[in-house]
């Protein structure tokens, strides 16, 4: 691509240009490193005070003199919340993606795809507002109360008086939020499957579903896994909607047990308690420490997702070239 | 070789089950269609609710006045929030766009090496970071150091959110400019930086603008980073080193208040925000669907939009 | 090239008791608003190879794809006419296309094995799809079909390897084996050798000679030498019309139409 040898006799302006470009690219790496450094130093106090029990403990007390911080309930809360949301959104998203790439008549395809894509752009705080003011009552009246009446307090996951601001509502709204993301990416991945693959399956006498199972699904499998993990990354880090809906328990009470009980996630505890934390105090250090835990979780998830997606791209190029 | 007798024998083993398979096919189609309905109903309900409830709240005063005292009979407006969001978007773009575009130039023009791949990878990872982490980071880096919440801190946080998007879309747009354009420039003896700035960037103009607009739409709705950086305010902007209000932040604050007037205002603010975000997204789509843009398809595949 | 196309009907010098496996009646087909096939009727004899020749874009591939209802999967495709397999209309509303597609195997221009499947599974998947459960039978069919596609000797040691690990020519023969495994009655081949080297091409041609003892084979080809080598009947298509159809020998040695003559002499194409 280098049409001209840039090393020899390259004018100073070109060199400056190149270094500015390198500098801008390095800025990204610098930001990531600074995030790690700042979150670590900002939370040093709490790690010194609590040690490993910051990860494993479940006390959360910010009253001066009795301060104690443990993030375990919020880690669990994040995982449970994201887990339920994924369980709901994965089948629905794949259904939408399959419909858009394989089944939908053209008249329906373009507008539906457009609506889904636009919904991915709706800010999370709007989903939160809708969940709080509209969806909550529906969840409470149509799902929670009947389930509670049916199973009662004896069952663990349906125990507690349904209130609408709880793990279930937060998870469902979270699921609604990530569906557009997973569905749009999955649709693109399915559309990238060459038609010759589908024709091969049709030739064997396959029905539409069998074509999907035989030709489309195996070909796009790793890409779909990548899309799912990207969705998981967003679910784990999602803040506003969850904060507005999850009921915000603290300490041991935030350990997720009943779907109808209030919970707390890593992101929501930060958003909720930040205003109360005094500068320089242990409470603030604890919240920054929570940020560090969330950072590490999200970082790991995204690295895996991107490695998978990169591998998909490579293997697909191989399939085309071979 | 398979003989005729063998073939006849094989054929006996085919149990086509066509009826059963066609039924299964129909069932799957129904399930898939049901998925679409189940998922699309709440999604569309959100839009309808925001539009109907929000439109009711709109008035000139609502858009321009400062908020009234909490719970008072005079609910006031969301003027400071709208102003704040516009200021924040402008300042963030001022920081994020030049760095993003230069970074994108690096990835596309000089990035075909190990370092380029590293930057690309971490840039992709940064694009998916929980934005609240970026808020906390900015809080520790700027707010704690300087000692107060400020417009600058908020803009810096938002610029980090938009940076990876601008960088990736710039790279992809530049890569779509044919190498022959560059070679033509070099052949004329034009310096490399001028080739990039005049020939390549202008060739990739539409992709570049799309990427920037989409990143602006994205940060317009970001709330989490602002919680830690701009604090919120009920006054119009006082200065860049002081607190400020923003639409998403205002929606969040309003949602936690128990008054009917705040609920109405919350819907109204959500309406204004969603109009801003959707206007950019629909506008970009409209322009590009006309042109059947290659860049646009590429962005779609990247999951940027 | 400026002459008007005058159609000469297929010669019927044989008596009516000849068995026609597949009959296409008045097929017209278009896609994306382009009319690719204009009112073409053709009869294909059982246990014979029929070649379709013609310059690029003459509609021969589209016509072939109409014969097993593959054309309707193309975007914006329209189609009129009838295709009769053993006297039964493939396009009848009463029959689902999947019932007849399995009786008509197809080999595509570019090899398209399923990339995630092993060599074995590529051949066996059609059997499993159509309800063959007996492992022993599946093994026998896979071996037999790979032998018929003259691929067995090259792959018998590593049937578990992915299909994509094979060379282009081997992949194409794998696709042929996959098409044969479902025990079709008709085999459609769309320029099966266009991407292959001469040795692989020769193998495929030998195989066609072997297969025609039992199958009705219809092959689209660009290559006129190939048509003379493998086919018994040849149809020449030009601009969506079937210009001439007859015994291969007659088409190449004694064409009745001027355009056919020019084409087979290599004056255009």
User: Could you tell me the CATH number of the domain that includes residue A66?
Assistant: 1.10.3720.10
Q: How many domains does chain A have?
A: 1
Pairing mode, strands C49-53 and C88-89: unpaired
Confidence of residue A312 (pLDDT cuts 50, 70, 90): low
Strands in C186-190's sheet, in edge-to-edge order, are C104-107, C186-190, C216-220, C49-53, C233-238, C241-247
ipTM topping 0.85: yes
Nearest residue, CB atoms, C183 vs list B7, B17, B22 = B7
Name the minimum distance, in Å, from the CA of C104 to any CA of chain A.
Answer: 8
Average pLDDT over residues B201-220: 89
DSSP secondary-structure letter at C19?
Answer: P
| pLDDT score of B291 more than 70 | no
Handedness of CA C259, C262, C263, C264 (dihedral sign): positive
**How high does pLDDT run on average in chain B?**
88
Contacts of C179 (CB under 8 A, 6+ apart): A203, C105, C106, C107, C187
Nearest residue, CB atoms, B99 vs list A27, A207, A270 = A27
Strands in C34-45's sheet, in edge-to-edge order, are C34-45, C20-31, C77-85, C88-89
In chain C, which segments carry CATH 3.40.50.300? 1-103+187-269
The answer to whether position B208 is within a domain reads yes
Average pLDDT over residues C54-70: 89
pTM of the model: 0.88
The answer to whether position A143 is within a domain reads yes
* A-chain residue closest to B182, CA distance: A3
Q: Which residue has the higher pLDDT, A203 or B234?
A: A203
Q: Which residue has the higher pLDDT, C106 or B299?
A: C106
pLDDT per residue as tens digits for the range C109-130: 889 999 989 999 999 999 999 8
Q: Of A85-89, C46-50, C201-205, give the lowest mean pLDDT range.
A: C201-205
Average pLDDT over residues A138-153: 85
| Tokens matching residue C76 | 């914006």
* CB < 8 Å to A196, chain C: 108, 110, 112
* A-chain residue closest to C103, CA distance: A205
Q: Of B3-12, B139-148, C111-120, give the lowest mean pLDDT range.
A: B3-12
Nearest residue, CB atoms, A214 vs list C105, C125, C182 = C125
* CB < 8 Å to C97, chain B: none
Structural domain harbouring A83: 60-321
Nearest residue, CB atoms, C132 vs list B7, B13, B22 = B13
The pLDDT score that the predictor gives to residue B275 is: 94
**How high does pLDDT run on average in chain C?**
86
pLDDT per residue as tens digits for the range C6-23: 555 554 444 555 678 899
| pLDDT score of A1 more than 50 | no
Same domain, B37 and B122: no
Same domain, B150 and B187: yes
The pLDDT score that the predictor gives to residue A158 is: 81
d(CA C212, CA A296): 65
- CB of B8 within 8 Å of any CB in chain C? no
Confidence of residue B96 (pLDDT cuts 50, 70, 90): very high
Same domain, B156 and B289: yes
The answer to whether position A200 is within a domain reads yes
The pLDDT score that the predictor gives to residue B100 is: 96
Same domain, B189 and B289: yes
Structural domain harbouring B236: 60-302
For chain C, give percent helix, strand, coil, nearest 5.
Answer: 35, 25, 40
Give me the phi and psi of A229, to 5 degrees please: -70, -35
Confidence of residue B260 (pLDDT cuts 50, 70, 90): confident
Name subunits touching A (3+ CB pairs < 8 A).
Answer: B, C
Average pLDDT over residues C197-213: 86
d(CA C42, CA B22): 31
Same domain, B30 and B171: no
Nearest residue, CB atoms, A28 vs list B105, B123, B255 = B123
What's the distance, CA A283 to chain centroid?
26
Same domain, B40 and B80: no
The answer to whether position A22 is within a domain reads no
Same domain, B36 and B109: no
Burial (CB count <10 Å: 0-12, 13-18, 19+), residue A111: exposed
* C-chain residue closest to A201, CA distance: C126
Same domain, B207 and B140: yes
* CB < 8 Å to B13, chain C: 132-134, 137
Is C149 within 8 Å of C174 (Cβ atoms)?
A: yes
Query: Do C116 and A202 make contact, defined as CB atoms within 8 angstroms?
Result: no
CATH number at residue B148: 1.10.3720.10
CA distances B239 to B85, B152, B231, Å, are 14, 10, 14
The answer to whether position A206 is within a domain reads yes
Q: How many domains does chain B have?
A: 2
Average pLDDT over residues C41-46: 91
The pLDDT score that the predictor gives to residue C168 is: 84
Q: What 3-state class would DSSP assign to C93? A: coil
The pLDDT score that the predictor gives to residue A29 is: 96
The pLDDT score that the predictor gives to residue A85 is: 96
3-state secondary structure B258-283: CCHHHHHHHHHHHHHHHHHHHHHHHH
pLDDT per residue as tens digits for the range A258-289: 888 899 999 999 998 888 887 778 999 999 99
Tell which B residues from 58 to 97 touch A, by Cβ distance under 8 Å: none
The answer to whether position A43 is within a domain reads no
Same domain, B30 and B137: no
Same domain, B114 and B38: no
| pLDDT score of B189 more than 80 | yes
**Residues of chain B above pLDDT 90, percent:** 45
| pLDDT score of C1 more than 50 | no
CATH assignment, C1-103+187-269: 3.40.50.300
Confidence of residue B11 (pLDDT cuts 50, 70, 90): confident
Query: Do C112 and A199 make contact, defined as CB atoms within 8 angstroms?
Result: yes
Name subunits touching B (3+ CB pairs < 8 A).
Answer: A, C
Average pLDDT over residues A129-154: 87
Query: Do C70 and A200 make contact, defined as CB atoms within 8 angstroms?
Result: no
The pLDDT score that the predictor gives to residue A98 is: 95
The answer to whether position A26 is within a domain reads no
Is B265 within 8 Å of B57 (Cβ atoms)?
A: yes
Nearest residue, CB atoms, B1 vs list C99, C127, C147 = C147
The pLDDT score that the predictor gives to residue B301 is: 59
Handedness of CA A299, A304, A307, A309 (dihedral sign): negative
Average pLDDT over residues A139-159: 83
Tell which A residues from 14 to 73 touch B, by Cβ distance under 8 Å: 14, 16-18, 20-29, 31-32, 34-35, 38-39, 41-42
- CA torsion angle B185 B190 B195 B197 (round to 10): -150
Same domain, B39 and B64: no
Confidence of residue B185 (pLDDT cuts 50, 70, 90): confident
Contacts of A306 (CB under 8 A, 6+ apart): A226, B121, B124, B125
CA distances A10 to A4, B109, B190, Å, are 10, 16, 12
pLDDT per residue as tens digits for the range C168-185: 888 998 999 999 998 888
The answer to whether position B11 is within a domain reads no
Contacts of A72 (CB under 8 A, 6+ apart): A55, A56, A57, A58, A255
């Amino acid at each position: 691509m280098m049409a001209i040898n840039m090393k020899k006799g390259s004018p100073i302006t070109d060199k400056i240009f190149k270094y500015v470009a390198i500098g801008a690219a390095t800025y990204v790496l610098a930001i990531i490193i600074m995030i790690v450094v700042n979150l670590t130093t900002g939370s040093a106090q709490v790690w010194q005070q609590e040690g490993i029990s910051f990860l494993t403990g479940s006390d959360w007390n910010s009253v001066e003199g009795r301060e104690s911080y443990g993030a375990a309930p919020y880690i669990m809360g994040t995982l449970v919340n994201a887990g339920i949301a994924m369980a709901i959104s994965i089948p629905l998203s794949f259904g939408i993606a399959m419909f858009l790439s394989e089944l939908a008549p053209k008249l329906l395809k373009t507008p539906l795809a457009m609506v889904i894509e636009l919904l991915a752009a709706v800010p999370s705080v709007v989903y939160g507002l809708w969940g709080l003011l509209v969806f909550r009552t529906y969840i409470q009246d149509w799902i929670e109360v009947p389930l509670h009446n049916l199973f009662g307090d004896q069952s663990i996951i349906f125990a507690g008086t349904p209130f609408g601001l709880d793990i279930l509502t937060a998870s469902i709204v979270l699921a609604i939020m990530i569906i557009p993301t997973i569905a749009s990416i999955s649709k693109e991945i399915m559309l990238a499957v060459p038609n010759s693959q589908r024709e091969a399956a049709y030739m064997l006498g396959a029905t539409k579903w069998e074509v999907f199972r035989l030709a489309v699904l195996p070909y796009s499998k790793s890409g779909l896994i990548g899309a799912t993990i990207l969705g998981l990354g967003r679910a784990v880090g999602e803040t506003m909607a969850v904060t507005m809906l999850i009921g915000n328990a603290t300490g041991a009470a935030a350990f997720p047990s009943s779907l109808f009980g209030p919970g707390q996630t890593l992101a929501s505890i930060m958003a909720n308690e930040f205003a109360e934390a005094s500068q320089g105090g242990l409470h603030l250090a604890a919240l920054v420490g929570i940020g560090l835990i969330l950072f590490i979780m999200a970082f790991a998830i995204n690295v895996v997702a991107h490695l998978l997606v990169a591998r998909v791209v490579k293997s697909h190029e191989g399939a085309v070239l071979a | 070789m398979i003989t005729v007798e063998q073939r006849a024998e094989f054929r006996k083993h085919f149990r086509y089950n066509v009826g059963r398979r066609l039924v299964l096919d129909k069932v799957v189609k129904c399930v898939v269609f049901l998925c679409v309905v189940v998922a699309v109903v709440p999604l569309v309900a959100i839009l309808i609710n925001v539009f109907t409830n929000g439109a009711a709240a709109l008035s000139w005063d609502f858009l321009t006045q400062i908020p009234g005292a909490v719970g008072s009979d005079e609910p006031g407006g969301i003027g400071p929030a709208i102003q704040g969001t516009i200021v924040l978007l402008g300042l963030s773009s001022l920081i994020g766009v030049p760095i993003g575009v230069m970074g994108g130039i690096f990835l596309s023009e000089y990035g075909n090496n190990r370092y380029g791949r590293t930057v690309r990878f971490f840039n992709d990872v940064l694009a998916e970071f929980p934005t609240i982490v970026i808020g906390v980071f900015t809080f520790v880096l700027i707010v704690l150091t300087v000692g107060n919440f400020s417009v600058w801190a908020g803009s810096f946080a938002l610029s980090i959110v938009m940076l990876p998007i601008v960088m990736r879309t710039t790279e992809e747009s530049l890569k779509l400019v044919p190498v022959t354009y560059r070679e033509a420039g070099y052949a004329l003896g034009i310096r490399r930086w001028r080739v990039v700035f005049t020939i390549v960037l202008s060739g990739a103009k539409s992709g570049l603008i799309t990427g920037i607009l989409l990143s602006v739409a994205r940060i317009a709705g970001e709330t989490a980073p602002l919680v830690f950086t701009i604090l919120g305010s009920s006054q119009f902007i006082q200065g860049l080193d002081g607190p400020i209000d923003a639409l998403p932040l205002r929606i969040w604050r309003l949602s936690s208040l128990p008054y009917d007037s705040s609920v109405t205002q919350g819907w109204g603010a959500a309406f204004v925000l969603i109009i801003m975000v959707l206007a950019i997204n629909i506008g970009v789509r409209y322009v590009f669907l006309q042109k059947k843009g290659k860049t646009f398809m590429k962005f779609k595949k990247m999951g940027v939009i | 090239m400026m002459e008007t196309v005058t159609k000469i009907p297929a010669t019927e010098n044989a008596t009516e008791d000849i068995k026609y496996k597949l009959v296409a009646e008045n097929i017209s087909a278009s896609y994306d608003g382009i009319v690719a096939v204009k009112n073409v009727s053709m009869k294909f004899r059982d246990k014979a190879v029929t070649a379709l020749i013609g310059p690029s874009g003459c509609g021969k591939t589209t016509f072939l794809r109409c014969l097993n209802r593959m054309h309707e999967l193309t975007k914006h495709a329209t189609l009129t006419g009838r295709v009769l397999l053993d006297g039964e209309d493939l396009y009848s509303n009463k029959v689902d296309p999947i019932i007849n597609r399995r009786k008509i195997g197809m080999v595509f221009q570019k090899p398209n094995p399923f990339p995630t499947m092993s060599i074995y599974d590529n051949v066996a998947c059609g059997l499993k799809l159509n309800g063959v459960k007996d492992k022993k039978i599946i093994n026998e069919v896979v071996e037999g079909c790979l032998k018929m596609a003259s691929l067995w000797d090259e792959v018998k040691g590593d049937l578990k390897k992915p299909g994509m690990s094979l060379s282009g020519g081997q992949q194409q023969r794998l696709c042929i084996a996959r098409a044969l495994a479902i025990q079709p009655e008709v085999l459609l081949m769309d320029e099966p050798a266009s991407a292959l080297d001469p040795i692989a091409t020769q193998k495929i041609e030998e195989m066609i000679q072997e297969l025609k003892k039992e199958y009705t084979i219809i092959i689209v080809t660009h290559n006129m030498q190939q048509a003379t080598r493998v086919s018994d009947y040849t149809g020449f298509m030009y601009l969506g019309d079937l210009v001439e159809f007859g015994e291969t020998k007659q088409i190449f040695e004694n064409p009745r139409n001027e355009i056919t003559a020019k084409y087979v002499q290599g004056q255009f194409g």
